[in-house]
């Protein structure tokens, strides 16, 4: 018998996952939360099939530390692949135990019991989960795997069950921003100009005047952490604006990097490591043609449509926080450490927020709400302003990737060298030792950013997807992890896979051109992975890859990756027209994610991933001068508009019910960027290796 999944081994007690209420309703709990990716729906489908209960009779609670299992962060496209499969095993165990209880109650053989619509039936009797609940010990641990139902027995998995959260969100009650508590105060922060700014002086007369403003209940100043609380939002906004005029800031010595130097990222201090190294064998043919190119991406903002928000309430030394962070348990650990409280004194509950797919300001605003609620003595709803989300939330790191390869006389790649330069992709409090909140850094000037760390492989941070999908005899992958304490780099959707796949797949097109081969044929010639070949052939068929394009300045680009080297395979073809800018015309995507729980949900995730990655590729970049972040609104940080999406975005799934489900939410990011860049080169002969591919960058590159 194989070992239990890690999620179950860490949370073995069944009552942490499942309960039956007195009115007969079935409650399922999970640690992974809804971020807009449809995970709640998929988990309900998994539980419904394994428990043999209609999904509408199930209730799901996720991300509540008071009752849910700790399954870590909702990240890395692991919600179905890891956590969903743990839930499937838990539900199989529960069904098995209830079946045994029904056998004992009805005094019939176990094999004669059939589970139908949530009832355990024999020829003459039927018992529900509720009727058997007292006979089943749910406070005991799982010790071994129970038999799962076969794919042929599943009625809900594999169907596009409608998402139950849509109606609430459509009518304005589905997000954390909509939550109201009795007696709640509204909080606003007063920020320095930058992380290095020093507090010089506070005009106490003006501070007293702020406290006397209508509705203002609290002004709290702890080092450089400054906040106000008022009865109404507009009162809090007015108080924060007035208080900002009472404070004198001075610029500190810690400046931001000078991006006028093209090698600014490579020149930062850091740590070097070898990710993988395979030397050539004496029998390997020598390289006769070599190519080396550099690629880059800028810092990226999460740019969530709704700003970061949290609610906090104290009852003595007991703290309750409502958050849209991706890890309720990680946030609880960090809050417990910050306030020096035992874990059992804190409850963190998840509520849906504006999606970010990464480490945005959700964790930090939770600290702000909790600090201010303790000072005010009343519950606080803290909401950041738009400029705070841009200037103070963690950002997806800038990266530089250098590719070098050699072809032999038959145009086969025989040498491969991949180097990545990147700041860390993980600074979330409660996840890595030493990681601290923004509030902690502002309150105590002695507190600095977390020690230089990144996720190790196989998860990976800046070196995620740096190991190529292709069969290459001699290869070396180096990772240069860079220290950048003056900024806040951390996780953004796909982490390092976005830049690494962009570089690898752009480089593959450049190598194919040097080899005078079709990009599709060149890739297939270097693949031993049949499922990778399968998605390439499928997307080629969808896009009619071999057919010539008609019209001037039109091009087609191809890219593929297997996310993290272990999750879904994704191949993309992008067709563009290049005018003064790159116009996305048609996009085709083929995805192999093994078993697909909810086809519509998977397609939505892939479509959303393509559109977000296209926006990163064509438009997005964070800008700064030597002292502060200059990107503080959507005016300075444009994203892809409705009038810029492709006229066709077609996703084809290659589901296989007999294969394990694979993470899919982040699989399209890197291939999208590379396919767009490759389409640009196909249309114009212009190879742009630095993102974003803005109109100005196209002009600058054409003039070089």
Q: How does pLDDT run across 387-396, given as a tens digit for each residue?
A: 999 999 999 9
In a domain, 268, yes or no: no
Same domain, 350 and 480: no
The range of the structural domain enclosing residue 325 comes to 182-251+302-392
Could you tell me which of 670, 704, 604 has the C-alpha nearest to residue 37?
604
Same domain, 385 and 408: no
In a domain, 291, yes or no: no
Same domain, 76 and 206: no
Same domain, 223 and 119: no
Q: Does position 251 have pLDDT exceeding 90, yes or no?
A: no
In a domain, 322, yes or no: yes
- Angle of helix 328-339 relative to helix 362-376, nearest 10 degrees, comes to 40
Last-in-domain residue among 125, 159, 193: 159
Q: pLDDT tier at 254 (50, 70, 90 boundaries)?
A: low
Looking at the DSSP bridge assignments, the partners of residue 19 are: 27
Looking at the DSSP bridge assignments, the partners of residue 276 are: 477
H/E stretch holding 217: strand 216-222
Same domain, 360 and 414: no
Q: How does pLDDT run across 612-649, given as a tens digit for each residue?
A: 999 999 999 999 988 889 999 999 999 999 999 999 99
Higher pLDDT, 85 or 446: 85
Last-in-domain residue among 335, 368, 392: 392
Q: Which two tokens stand for residue 125?
A: 């009797």
Q: Name the burial class of residue 286, with classes exposed (0-12), middle (13-18) and buried (19+) by CB atoms within 10 angstroms of its CB.
A: exposed
Q: Does position 1 have pLDDT exceeding 60, yes or no?
A: no
Looking at the DSSP bridge assignments, the partners of residue 402 are: 294, 419
Same domain, 102 and 143: yes
Quick one: pLDDT at residue 253? Answer: 62
Q: How does pLDDT run across 177-205, given as a tens digit for each residue?
A: 999 999 999 999 999 988 888 999 999 99
Same domain, 559 and 627: yes
Domains in the chain, number: 3
Same domain, 225 and 135: no
Q: What is the mean pLDDT of residues 460-480?
A: 97
Same domain, 210 and 333: yes
In a domain, 493, yes or no: yes
CA–CA distances in Å: residue 106 to residues 129, 195, 315? 14, 68, 48
The residue count of the chain comes to 704
Same domain, 136 and 191: no
Q: Does position 682 have pLDDT exceeding 70, yes or no?
A: yes
Q: What is the mean pLDDT of residues 539-557?
A: 95
Apex 624 CA angle, 623 and 626, nearest 5: 155
Same domain, 375 and 517: no
Q: pLDDT tier at 255 (50, 70, 90 boundaries)?
A: confident
In a domain, 573, yes or no: yes
Q: What is the CATH number of the domain that holds 498?
A: 3.30.365.10
pTM value > 0.75: yes
What SS3 class is residue 343? helix
Quote the CA–CA distance of 248 and 234 in Å, as a whole number: 24
Cβ atoms of 605 and 38 closer than 8 Å: yes
Last-in-domain residue among 350, 375, 392: 392
Looking at the DSSP bridge assignments, the partners of residue 59 are: 27
In a domain, 410, yes or no: yes
Give one DSSP letter per residue of 415-451, joined into a string.
EEEEEEEEE-S---TTTSTT---HHHHHH-TT--PPP
Q: How does pLDDT run across 130-168, given as a tens digit for each residue?
A: 999 999 999 999 989 999 999 999 999 999 999 988 888
Same domain, 417 and 529: yes
Select the highest-mean-pLDDT range: 166-170, 549-553, 575-579. 575-579
In a domain, 257, yes or no: no
Quick one: pLDDT at residue 595? Answer: 96
Helices (H) and strands (E) in the chain, counts: 17, 24
In a domain, 294, yes or no: no
Select the highest-mean-pLDDT range: 44-58, 280-294, 431-445. 44-58
Sign of the torsion angle spanned by Cα atoms 526, 529, 530, 535:
negative
């Amino acid at each position: 018998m194989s070992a239990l999944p890690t999620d179950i081994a860490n949370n073995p007690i069944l009552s942490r996952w499942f309960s039956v209420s007195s009115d007969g309703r079935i409650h399922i709990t999970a640690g992974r939360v809804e971020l807009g990716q449809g995970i709640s729906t998929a988990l309900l489908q998994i539980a419904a099939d394994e428990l043999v209960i209609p999904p509408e009779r199930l209730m799901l609670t996720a991300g509540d530390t008071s009752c849910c299992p700790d399954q870590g962060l909702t990240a890395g496209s692991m919600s179905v692949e890891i956590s969903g499969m743990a839930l499937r095993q838990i539900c199989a165990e529960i069904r098995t135990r209830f079946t045994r209880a029904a056998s004992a109650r009805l005094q019939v053989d176990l094999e004669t019991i059939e589970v139908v619509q949530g009832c355990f039936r024999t020829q003459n009797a039927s018992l529900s989960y509720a009727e058997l609940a007292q006979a089943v010990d749910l406070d005991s641990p799982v010790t071994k795997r129970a038999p799962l139902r076969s794919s042929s027995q599943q009625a809900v998995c594999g169907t596009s069950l409608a998402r139950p959260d849509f109606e609430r969100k459509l009518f304005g009650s589905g997000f954390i921003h909509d939550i109201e508590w009795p007696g709640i105060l509204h909080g606003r922060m007063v920020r320095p100009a930058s992380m290095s700014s020093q507090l010089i002086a506070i005009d106490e007369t003006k501070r007293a005047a702020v406290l006397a403003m209508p509705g203002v209940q609290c002004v709290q100043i702890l080092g450089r952490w400054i906040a106000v609380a008022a009865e109404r939002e507009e009162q809090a906004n007015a108080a924060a604006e007035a208080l900002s005029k009472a404070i004198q800031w001075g610029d500190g010595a810690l400046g931001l990097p000078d991006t006028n130097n093209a090698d600014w990222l490579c020149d930062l201090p850091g740590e070097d490591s070898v990710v993988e190294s395979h030397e050539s064998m004496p029998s390997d043919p020598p390289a006769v043609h070599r190519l080396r190119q550099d690629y880059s991406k800028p810092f990226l903002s999460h740019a969530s449509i709704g700003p970061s928000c949290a609610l906090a309430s104290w009852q003595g030394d007991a703290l309750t926080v409502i958050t849209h962070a991706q890890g309720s348990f990680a946030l609880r650990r960090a809050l417990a450490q910050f306030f020096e409280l035992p874990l059992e004194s804190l409850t963190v509950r998840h509520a849906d927020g504006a999606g970010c797919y990464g480490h945005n300001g959700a964790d930090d605003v939770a600290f702000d709400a909790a600090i201010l609620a303790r000072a005010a003595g009343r519950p606080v709803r803290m909401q950041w302003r738009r400029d705070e989300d841009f200037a103070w939330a963690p950002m997806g790191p800038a990266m530089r990737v250098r590719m070098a390869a050699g072809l032999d006389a038959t145009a086969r790649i025989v040498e491969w060298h991949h180097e990545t330069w990147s700041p860390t992709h993980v600074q979330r409090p409660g996840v890595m030792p030493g990681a601290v909140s923004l509030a902690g850094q502002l309150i105590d000037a002695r507190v600095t950013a977390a020690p230089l760390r990144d996720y190790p492989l196989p998860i990976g941070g800046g070196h995620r997807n740096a190991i190529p999908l292709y069969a290459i005899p001699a290869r070396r992958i180096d990772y240069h992890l860079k220290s950048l304490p003056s900024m806040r780099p951390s996780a953004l959707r796909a982490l390092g896979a976005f830049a690494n796949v962009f570089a690898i797949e752009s480089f593959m097109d450049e190598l194919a051109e040097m080899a005078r081969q079709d990009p599709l044929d060149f890739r297939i010639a270097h693949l031993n992975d049949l499922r990778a070949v399968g998605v390439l052939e499928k997307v080629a068929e969808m896009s009619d890859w071999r057919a010539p394009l008609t019209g001037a300045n039109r091009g087609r680009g191809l890219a593929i990756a297997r996310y993290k080297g272990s999750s879904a395979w994704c191949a993309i073809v992008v067709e563009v027209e290049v005018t003064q800018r790159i116009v996305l015309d048609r996009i085709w995507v083929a995805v192999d994610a093994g078993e697909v729980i909810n086809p519509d949900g998977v397609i939505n995730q892939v479509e959303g991933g393509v559109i977000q990655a296209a926006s990163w590729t064509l438009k997005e970049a964070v800008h700064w001068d030597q002292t502060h972040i200059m990107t503080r609104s959507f005016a300075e940080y444009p994203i892809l508009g409705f009038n810029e999406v492709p006229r066709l975005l077609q996703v084809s799934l290659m589901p296989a019910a007999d294969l394990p489900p694979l993470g899919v939410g982040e699989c399209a990011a890197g291939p999208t960027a590379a396919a767009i860049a490759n389409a640009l080169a196909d249309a114009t002969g212009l190879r742009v290796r630095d993102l974003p591919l803005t109109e100005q960058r196209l002009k600058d590159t054409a003039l070089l």
